[in-house]
Amino acid sequence: MKIVADREACASAGMCALTAPGYFDQDDEDGRVVLLAEEAEGRDDDVADAVRLCPASALRVEP
């Protein structure tokens, strides 16, 4: 699955970096999401949780 993050929509809440730290980090300056990997592999559940928990609906996955 391809991971897509909308930095414009991101509210810098940090849930994604806590939930799936192998895939998401936060920008040191503005706190917005930084994608560490563009494809979800073995830990799909973590990525799915991050998508579900994002308060700004800024994350999604595509087949």
The footprint of ligand SF4 (CB under 6 A) covers 5, 10-16, 24, 26, 33, 54-56, 58-59
Pairwise CA distance, residues 7 & 5, whole Å = 6
Q: Nearer Cβ to ligand SF4, position 18 or 41?
A: 18
46 three-state secondary structure: helix
CB of 17 to ligand SF4, least distance (A): 6
**For ligand SF4, the closer CB: 47 or 58:** 58
Cα 38 to Cα 5: distance, rounded to the nearest angstrom: 9
Q: How far is the CB of 9 from ligand SF4 (least distance, A)?
A: 7
